Structure 1
Amino acid sequence: MNEKVLLVEDEASIRRFTKIVLKKHGFNVLEADSGEAGLDIVNQESPLVVLLDVMLPGINGFEVCKKIRETNPNIGIIMLTARSQDKDKIEGLNHGADDYLVKPFNPLELSARIQSLLRRMDSKSKSNNLISGPFKIDLDAKLVSKDNLQLNLTPKEFLLLKILIENKNKVLNRSELLDLVWGYNYIGDPKIVDVNVRRLRSKLEKNPSEPDYVETIWGMGYIWKEN
């Protein structure tokens, strides 16, 4: 496991106990005794999860949470506090926290919540991107890159590439691609598929006339070959 978890807690006894428990469960635990110190560690170490006490010297946990979210939207945040009122839980969540645990907490529950949060984060990360060879498709931003260089695709070319990669090593005929990219009610020339495949190859392939990725299977259709 060994994922970095930052514990921002001003009470040394709670930090020591929590660190011991989390290390036993395989986490690499970083420590901070104030909000300012916690923000410095976030910037330097990029932990996957921050365990954040609300009542801190200096800036409080809600403000720390807000500042983390402004610059690190993908970090998981679990608020730890002695407060149990609903308004405090709501305030923490409104500032960007992913979860909330009230002290005193069961250390096994804390470990389970961290693991659950990491699974959700991993699932979200995987679902928002498609990776194939040198290509990365950001499904949220609708961007495609090859070897970390962004490609300029039209919306239809983007959708065509997405469908081909999602069905890699499977032959898709012209009719199937027409329905999936242009819609079942499209009444134009079906050769628009071939035109867009050629355009897509010109942007993806090193040698479009001898494609490495978007291959033609004569008499059948097109296939994405993952190299």
Structure 2
Amino acid sequence: MDKKELINKMKYCTVLYVEDELDVRKHIVEYLNRFFKKIYVSDNCEEALDLYKIYKPNIILLDINLPGMNGIDFASLIRKEDSKTRIIMTTAYTNKEFMVQAVELDLTRYLVKPVTGTDLFSATQKAILELDKNSSLPTLIDLGEGFIYQHTEKNILNKKDNSIILLRKKEIQLLEFFINKKNETITYEVIETQIWPDDIMTEDAIRSQIRNIRNKTYSKILKNISGVGYKLCVRTD
């Protein structure tokens, strides 16, 4: 993969950055914003853990020495259930014990401060290569009118303002079902039995989920076929 292709892939990836030093944080965030789609920022691991659970970033960049929970403990929590998200660790000094722990956490790279732009670019490029190898880069699905469904992250990107639209579990299930059946009319009965076989879903409940998706994207994304059901109609004009 050449440099141009790597940089292009960065545009579709998100980064969670955890650093308690304000000046360092501002400098690095400014640098990362040149390449990545979205940067989520925190100065502590407790808040960062909440951000991770909500946004599921592709790459985590964090300092080891943080107030409260340190970077090693944070990365350990992530690795208990997530082997795909790439983690880059930074620290102000080398520490043999930390380095041994870092190896066990399958880190992409261990950077010693002050981190240069060259070091950071090299580390993030390596993270992109690892993500690509594991096939864990976002799968992007054009929903029309500037809305992109990010299958890996389970959310929608609004390209008009580069904002992220969060979806609830049932909205995700419904939207993915329609994406797999694009331009097919899906009856109420099929929606009830195939999407939520273990739940009691009335037509009113289904309409409510349809309305939620429309409100978060645009009104004609799911077309009502009177008396039958709905179909996904992607508008590209």
TM normalised by structure 1 equals 0.52
Matches within 5 A, 1:1-227: 1-125=11-135
Structure 1 vs Structure 2 CA RMSD: 2.0
Within 2, Cα distance between the matches of 1:35 and 1:26?
21
State the distance in 2 between where 1:64 and 1:28 align. 21
Following TM superposition, the consecutive aligned residue runs of length 4 or more in structure 1 with deviations greater than 3 angstroms are none
Deviation string, structure 1 residues 163-220 (Cα, Å, up to 9, x no partner): xxxxxxxxxxxxxxxxxxxxxxxxxxxxxxxxxxxxxxxxxxxxxxxxxxxxxxxxxx
Shift of 1:27: 4.4
Residue pair 2:20, 2:43 contacting (<8 A) in 1 also: yes
Provide Cα deviations, 1:140-172, integer angstroms capped at 9, x if missing partner. Answer: xxxxxxx99xxxxxxxxxxxxxxxxxxxxxxxx
One-letter amino acid of the structure 2 residue matched with residue 5 of structure 1: V
Q: Is this contact kept in 1: 2:91–2:112, CA < 8 A?
A: yes
Is the 2:108–2:126 Cα contact (8 Å) retained in structure 1?
no
Q: Which moved further from structure 2: 106-115 or 90-99?
A: 90-99
Partner amino acid, structure 2, of 1:81: T
TM-score, normalised by the number of residues in structure 2: 0.50
Q: Percent identity?
A: 29
Task: Tell me which amino acid in the other structure corresponds to 1:89.
Answer: M
Shift of 1:3: 1.3
Cα distance in structure 2, aligned partners of 1:87 and 1:45: 31
Once the two structures are superposed, residues 80-123 of structure 1 have per-residue CA deviations (whole angstroms, 9 ceiling, x without a partner) of 11121333222222234232111011123202211221112211
Give the counterpart letter for 1:55 in structure 2: N
Contact 2:45 2:69 in 1 (8 A): yes
Q: Say which SS state the counterpart of residue 24 (structure 1) adopts.
A: coil
In structure 2, how many angstroms separate the alpha carbons of the residues matched to 1:96 and 1:66?
10
In structure 2, how many angstroms separate the alpha carbons of the residues matched to 1:27 and 1:112? 18
Contact (CA 8 Å) 2:15, 2:36: kept in 1 or not? no
Range with bigger deviation, 2-11 or 40-49? 2-11
